[in-house]
Protein backbone atom coordinates (compact mmCIF):
# COMPACT_ATOMS: atom_id res chain seq x y z
CA UNK A 1 0.00 0.00 0.00
CA UNK A 2 1.16 3.49 -0.93
CA UNK A 3 -0.53 6.76 0.02
CA UNK A 4 -0.03 10.42 -0.85
CA UNK A 5 -1.73 13.27 1.00
CA UNK A 6 -2.92 16.67 -0.22
CA UNK A 7 -3.66 19.21 2.50
CA UNK A 8 -4.00 22.96 2.97
CA UNK A 9 -1.41 24.85 4.98
CA UNK A 10 -3.34 28.07 5.69
CA UNK A 11 -7.05 28.77 6.22
CA UNK A 12 -8.56 26.79 3.38
CA UNK A 13 -9.15 28.05 -0.18
CA UNK A 14 -5.55 27.25 -1.17
CA UNK A 15 -6.58 25.33 -4.35
CA UNK A 16 -6.25 21.81 -2.95
CA UNK A 17 -8.85 20.62 -5.45
CA UNK A 18 -6.68 21.81 -8.33
CA UNK A 19 -3.64 19.91 -7.04
CA UNK A 20 -5.64 16.75 -6.34
CA UNK A 21 -7.17 16.92 -9.81
CA UNK A 22 -3.77 17.26 -11.47
CA UNK A 23 -2.23 14.42 -9.44
CA UNK A 24 -5.14 12.17 -10.43
CA UNK A 25 -4.42 12.91 -14.09
CA UNK A 26 -0.82 11.78 -13.79
CA UNK A 27 -0.71 9.15 -11.04
CA UNK A 28 -1.65 5.49 -10.80
CA UNK A 29 -4.06 5.87 -7.92
CA UNK A 30 -6.63 3.17 -7.26
CA UNK A 31 -8.54 5.29 -4.72
CA UNK A 32 -9.04 8.95 -3.81
CA UNK A 33 -10.33 9.49 -0.27
CA UNK A 34 -11.67 12.69 1.28
CA UNK A 35 -10.40 12.40 4.83
CA UNK A 36 -12.01 15.26 6.77
CA UNK A 37 -14.68 17.94 6.75
CA UNK A 38 -18.07 18.01 5.12
CA UNK A 39 -20.08 20.27 2.85
CA UNK A 40 -18.35 23.29 4.41
CA UNK A 41 -15.56 22.49 1.93
CA UNK A 42 -15.64 23.88 -1.59
CA UNK A 43 -13.06 22.51 -4.04
CA UNK A 44 -12.96 24.31 -7.38
CA UNK A 45 -11.87 22.12 -10.27
CA UNK A 46 -11.47 22.92 -13.97
CA UNK A 47 -11.92 19.77 -16.03
CA UNK A 48 -11.96 19.70 -19.82
CA UNK A 49 -12.81 23.38 -19.97
CA UNK A 50 -15.65 23.21 -17.42
CA UNK A 51 -15.71 24.56 -13.88
CA UNK A 52 -16.91 22.28 -11.07
CA UNK A 53 -17.25 23.03 -7.35
CA UNK A 54 -17.39 19.91 -5.18
CA UNK A 55 -18.25 19.91 -1.49
CA UNK A 56 -18.26 16.17 -0.74
CA UNK A 57 -17.15 14.28 -3.85
CA UNK A 58 -13.40 13.56 -4.18
CA UNK A 59 -11.59 14.65 -7.34
CA UNK A 60 -10.84 11.09 -8.46
CA UNK A 61 -14.22 10.85 -10.23
CA UNK A 62 -12.94 13.07 -13.03
CA UNK A 63 -10.41 10.40 -14.03
CA UNK A 64 -12.37 7.22 -13.40
CA UNK A 65 -10.80 6.56 -9.99
CA UNK A 66 -12.82 5.07 -7.14
CA UNK A 67 -13.57 7.97 -4.82
CA UNK A 68 -14.52 7.50 -1.16
CA UNK A 69 -15.92 9.88 1.43
CA UNK A 70 -13.94 8.65 4.42
CA UNK A 71 -14.93 7.97 8.02
CA UNK A 72 -13.34 11.24 9.12
CA UNK A 73 -16.00 13.17 7.18
CA UNK A 74 -19.54 14.27 7.91
CA UNK A 75 -21.99 14.09 5.02
CA UNK A 76 -25.16 15.97 4.12
CA UNK A 77 -27.41 13.57 2.13
CA UNK A 78 -29.10 16.34 0.13
CA UNK A 79 -25.81 17.93 -0.86
CA UNK A 80 -24.30 14.53 -1.67
CA UNK A 81 -27.04 13.51 -4.09
CA UNK A 82 -27.17 16.98 -5.64
CA UNK A 83 -23.46 16.67 -6.47
CA UNK A 84 -23.90 13.15 -7.83
CA UNK A 85 -26.66 14.35 -10.16
CA UNK A 86 -24.69 17.40 -11.29
CA UNK A 87 -21.65 15.29 -12.15
CA UNK A 88 -23.76 12.69 -13.95
CA UNK A 89 -25.36 15.43 -16.07
CA UNK A 90 -21.86 16.56 -17.03
CA UNK A 91 -20.94 13.05 -18.16
CA UNK A 92 -18.90 12.13 -15.05
CA UNK A 93 -19.92 8.59 -13.88
CA UNK A 94 -20.13 9.53 -10.21
CA UNK A 95 -22.80 6.97 -9.32
CA UNK A 96 -20.51 4.07 -10.11
CA UNK A 97 -17.28 5.64 -8.80
CA UNK A 98 -18.31 7.22 -5.49
CA UNK A 99 -18.57 5.33 -2.20
CA UNK A 100 -19.27 6.41 1.36
CA UNK A 101 -17.49 4.87 4.35
CA UNK A 102 -20.09 3.11 6.47
CA UNK A 103 -18.82 4.90 9.59
CA UNK A 104 -18.89 8.43 8.15
CA UNK A 105 -21.36 10.52 10.14
CA UNK A 106 -24.46 12.20 8.75
CA UNK A 107 -25.49 15.86 8.90
CA UNK A 108 -29.20 16.14 9.71
CA UNK A 109 -31.65 19.04 9.37
CA UNK A 110 -31.33 19.56 13.11
CA UNK A 111 -27.57 20.00 12.77
CA UNK A 112 -28.05 22.66 10.10
CA UNK A 113 -30.65 24.45 12.21
CA UNK A 114 -28.35 24.38 15.23
CA UNK A 115 -25.40 25.67 13.21
CA UNK A 116 -27.45 28.55 11.82
CA UNK A 117 -27.49 30.09 15.30
CA UNK A 118 -23.72 30.66 15.20
CA UNK A 119 -22.56 34.28 15.13
CA UNK A 120 -19.30 34.22 17.08
CA UNK A 121 -17.12 31.95 14.93
CA UNK A 122 -18.45 32.72 11.46
CA UNK A 123 -19.03 29.14 10.32
CA UNK A 124 -20.51 28.18 6.95
CA UNK A 125 -23.72 27.21 8.82
CA UNK A 126 -23.84 23.87 7.02
CA UNK A 127 -24.26 21.75 10.17
CA UNK A 128 -20.75 20.33 10.31
CA UNK A 129 -19.90 21.39 13.86
CA UNK A 130 -23.05 19.98 15.47
CA UNK A 131 -22.65 16.74 13.46
CA UNK A 132 -19.10 16.26 14.74
CA UNK A 133 -20.28 17.12 18.26
CA UNK A 134 -22.88 14.34 18.11
CA UNK A 135 -20.25 11.97 16.75
CA UNK A 136 -18.00 12.49 19.76
CA UNK A 137 -20.99 12.48 22.09
CA UNK A 138 -21.68 9.00 20.65
CA UNK A 139 -25.21 9.78 19.59
CA UNK A 140 -24.74 10.58 15.90
CA UNK A 141 -26.11 8.85 12.83
CA UNK A 142 -23.70 6.96 10.59
CA UNK A 143 -24.05 6.53 6.86
CA UNK A 144 -24.74 2.82 7.36
CA UNK A 145 -27.84 3.81 9.36
CA UNK A 146 -29.35 5.70 6.41
CA UNK A 147 -31.23 3.72 3.72
CA UNK A 148 -30.48 6.43 1.14
CA UNK A 149 -26.77 5.49 1.20
CA UNK A 150 -27.34 1.74 0.86
CA UNK A 151 -25.93 1.52 -2.68
CA UNK A 152 -22.83 3.57 -1.80
CA UNK A 153 -21.70 2.04 1.50
CA UNK A 154 -18.19 0.62 1.75
CA UNK A 155 -16.15 -0.86 4.58
CA UNK A 156 -12.79 0.95 4.43
CA UNK A 157 -10.82 -1.99 5.84
CA UNK A 158 -12.31 -4.50 3.41
CA UNK A 159 -11.91 -2.09 0.50
CA UNK A 160 -8.25 -1.24 1.10
CA UNK A 161 -6.92 -4.54 2.43
CA UNK A 162 -8.64 -7.09 0.21
CA UNK A 163 -6.70 -6.26 -2.95
CA UNK A 164 -3.02 -5.88 -3.92
CA UNK A 165 -1.18 -2.76 -5.09
CA UNK A 166 -3.50 -0.22 -3.51
CA UNK A 167 -2.39 3.36 -4.16
CA UNK A 168 -4.35 6.08 -2.37
CA UNK A 169 -4.53 9.83 -2.75
CA UNK A 170 -5.97 11.49 0.35
CA UNK A 171 -7.76 14.79 -0.34
CA UNK A 172 -8.02 17.13 2.64
CA UNK A 173 -10.49 19.92 3.31
CA UNK A 174 -10.04 23.32 4.97
CA UNK A 175 -6.46 24.06 6.11
CA UNK A 176 -3.99 23.67 8.95
CA UNK A 177 -4.75 27.19 10.21
CA UNK A 178 -8.32 26.00 10.85
CA UNK A 179 -7.40 22.70 12.50
CA UNK A 180 -9.41 22.07 15.67
CA UNK A 181 -6.21 21.55 17.72
CA UNK A 182 -3.55 23.62 15.96
CA UNK A 183 -5.53 26.50 14.46
CA UNK A 184 -6.44 29.89 15.96
CA UNK A 185 -9.00 28.55 18.43
CA UNK A 186 -11.96 29.16 18.63
CA UNK A 187 -11.86 30.40 14.99
CA UNK A 188 -11.36 26.89 13.70
CA UNK A 189 -13.23 24.13 11.90
CA UNK A 190 -14.60 21.03 13.63
CA UNK A 191 -12.24 18.45 12.13
CA UNK A 192 -8.55 17.65 11.94
CA UNK A 193 -6.80 19.09 8.86
CA UNK A 194 -3.47 17.30 9.24
CA UNK A 195 -1.53 14.42 7.71
CA UNK A 196 -2.31 12.48 10.87
CA UNK A 197 -6.03 12.88 10.13
CA UNK A 198 -5.57 11.07 6.82
CA UNK A 199 -4.11 8.10 8.70
CA UNK A 200 -7.27 7.90 10.80
CA UNK A 201 -9.03 6.69 7.65
CA UNK A 202 -7.36 3.30 7.99
CA UNK A 203 -3.82 3.63 6.64
CA UNK A 204 -0.58 2.93 8.57
CA UNK A 205 2.08 5.69 8.83
CA UNK A 206 4.56 3.59 6.83
CA UNK A 207 2.31 3.84 3.76
CA UNK A 208 2.79 7.60 3.37
CA UNK A 209 5.02 8.41 0.39
CA UNK A 210 4.44 12.11 -0.26
CA UNK A 211 2.66 14.93 1.52
CA UNK A 212 1.60 17.75 -0.80
CA UNK A 213 1.21 20.98 1.14
CA UNK A 214 -0.78 23.67 -0.66
CA UNK A 215 -0.59 27.40 0.10
CA UNK A 216 -1.23 30.77 -1.49
CA UNK A 217 1.59 33.28 -1.93
CA UNK A 218 -0.63 35.52 0.18
CA UNK A 219 -3.29 34.48 2.71
CA UNK A 220 -7.06 34.53 2.83
CA UNK A 221 -9.59 33.80 5.55
CA UNK A 222 -13.38 33.55 5.76
CA UNK A 223 -14.91 33.91 9.21
CA UNK A 224 -15.79 36.22 12.06
CA UNK A 225 -12.37 37.40 13.25
CA UNK A 226 -10.63 40.47 11.84
CA UNK A 227 -7.93 39.28 9.45
CA UNK A 228 -7.59 41.87 6.69
CA UNK A 229 -5.69 45.10 7.49
CA UNK A 230 -6.85 48.42 6.14
CA UNK A 231 -5.46 49.45 2.78
CA UNK A 232 -6.31 49.48 -0.91
CA UNK A 233 -3.70 46.80 -1.62
CA UNK A 234 -5.77 44.19 0.25
CA UNK A 235 -8.91 45.17 -1.61
CA UNK A 236 -6.91 44.70 -4.80
CA UNK A 237 -5.83 41.21 -3.70
CA UNK A 238 -9.47 40.41 -3.08
CA UNK A 239 -10.63 41.69 -6.46
CA UNK A 240 -7.82 40.43 -8.69
CA UNK A 241 -7.64 37.08 -6.88
CA UNK A 242 -11.43 36.65 -7.12
CA UNK A 243 -11.46 35.94 -3.42
CA UNK A 244 -14.98 34.77 -2.72
CA UNK A 245 -15.76 31.59 -0.82
CA UNK A 246 -16.65 28.62 -3.04
CA UNK A 247 -19.16 27.39 -0.44
CA UNK A 248 -20.75 30.55 0.98
CA UNK A 249 -19.89 33.22 -1.58
CA UNK A 250 -18.59 35.42 1.23
CA UNK A 251 -15.65 37.72 0.57
CA UNK A 252 -12.36 36.28 1.74
CA UNK A 253 -10.32 38.61 3.89
CA UNK A 254 -6.79 39.03 2.49
CA UNK A 255 -3.38 39.61 4.06
CA UNK A 256 0.27 38.99 3.28
CA UNK A 257 1.52 35.45 3.87
CA UNK A 258 2.90 34.65 7.33
CA UNK A 259 6.05 32.57 6.80
CA UNK A 260 6.29 31.50 10.45
CA UNK A 261 2.81 30.02 10.42
CA UNK A 262 3.51 28.38 7.08
CA UNK A 263 6.66 26.70 8.37
CA UNK A 264 4.78 25.43 11.41
CA UNK A 265 2.28 23.78 9.07
CA UNK A 266 5.02 22.41 6.79
CA UNK A 267 6.99 20.86 9.65
CA UNK A 268 4.10 19.46 11.69
CA UNK A 269 2.60 17.75 8.63
CA UNK A 270 5.85 16.40 7.19
CA UNK A 271 5.31 18.15 3.86
CA UNK A 272 7.55 16.83 1.07
CA UNK A 273 6.15 18.80 -1.87
CA UNK A 274 5.08 22.43 -1.42
CA UNK A 275 2.94 24.41 -3.87
CA UNK A 276 2.51 28.19 -3.77
CA UNK A 277 -0.58 29.23 -5.74
CA UNK A 278 -1.83 32.63 -6.96
CA UNK A 279 1.55 33.87 -8.18
CA UNK A 280 -0.31 35.60 -11.01
CA UNK A 281 -2.15 37.83 -8.52
CA UNK A 282 1.00 39.30 -6.98
CA UNK A 283 2.48 39.53 -10.48
CA UNK A 284 -0.40 41.77 -11.52
CA UNK A 285 -0.25 43.84 -8.33
CA UNK A 286 3.52 44.20 -8.60
CA UNK A 287 4.31 43.79 -4.90
CA UNK A 288 6.10 40.84 -3.33
CA UNK A 289 5.89 40.69 0.46
CA UNK A 290 5.33 38.39 3.41
CA UNK A 291 5.63 38.44 7.18
CA UNK A 292 8.67 36.80 8.78
CA UNK A 293 9.18 36.99 12.56
CA UNK A 294 6.43 39.66 12.73
CA UNK A 295 8.29 41.87 10.25
CA UNK A 296 6.94 42.66 6.79
CA UNK A 297 9.68 41.74 4.31
CA UNK A 298 9.64 43.41 0.89
CA UNK A 299 11.27 41.72 -2.12
CA UNK A 300 12.47 43.29 -5.35
CA UNK A 301 10.55 40.90 -7.55
CA UNK A 302 9.18 37.45 -8.27
CA UNK A 303 12.50 35.69 -8.82
CA UNK A 304 13.95 36.99 -5.57
CA UNK A 305 11.00 35.78 -3.50
CA UNK A 306 11.08 32.41 -5.26
CA UNK A 307 14.78 31.93 -4.49
CA UNK A 308 14.33 32.90 -0.85
CA UNK A 309 11.31 30.66 -0.24
CA UNK A 310 12.82 27.67 -2.04
CA UNK A 311 16.06 27.92 -0.05
CA UNK A 312 14.43 28.65 3.30
CA UNK A 313 11.82 25.90 3.08
CA UNK A 314 14.24 23.27 1.79
CA UNK A 315 16.80 23.95 4.51
CA UNK A 316 14.25 24.05 7.34
CA UNK A 317 12.01 21.04 6.65
CA UNK A 318 11.52 17.75 4.81
CA UNK A 319 10.44 19.55 1.63
CA UNK A 320 12.30 18.34 -1.46
CA UNK A 321 10.23 20.07 -4.17
CA UNK A 322 8.83 23.61 -4.26
CA UNK A 323 6.43 24.72 -7.00
CA UNK A 324 5.07 28.15 -7.89
CA UNK A 325 1.81 28.36 -9.81
CA UNK A 326 -0.18 31.10 -11.48
CA UNK A 327 -2.72 28.89 -13.24
CA UNK A 328 -6.25 27.95 -12.18
CA UNK A 329 -6.17 24.42 -13.54
CA UNK A 330 -2.59 23.18 -13.02
CA UNK A 331 0.68 23.75 -11.17
Please give the positions annotated as active site. Answer: 13, 43
Rounded CA separation 26/133 (Å): 38
Dihedral over Cα of 133, 135, 136, 138: its sign: positive
Give Cβ neighbours of residue 219 (< 8 Å, ≥ 6 apart): 10, 11, 227, 254, 255, 256, 257, 258
Rounded CA separation 31/165 (Å): 11
Rounded CA separation 223/214 (Å): 20
Ranges of beta strands (E only) in 9-148 are: 31-34, 43-47, 50-54, 66-69, 74-75, 98-101, 105-106
Amino acid sequence: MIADVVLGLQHGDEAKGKITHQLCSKGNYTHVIRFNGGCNAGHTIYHEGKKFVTHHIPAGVFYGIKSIIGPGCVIDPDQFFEEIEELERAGIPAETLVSVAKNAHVITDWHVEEDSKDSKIGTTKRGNGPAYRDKYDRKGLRAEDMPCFEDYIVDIYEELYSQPNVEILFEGAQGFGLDIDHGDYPYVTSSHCTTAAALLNGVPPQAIRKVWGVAKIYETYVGAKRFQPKGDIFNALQEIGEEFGATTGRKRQCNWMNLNNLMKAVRMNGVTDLVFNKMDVLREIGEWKFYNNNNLVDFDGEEQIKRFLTSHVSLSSLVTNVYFSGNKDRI
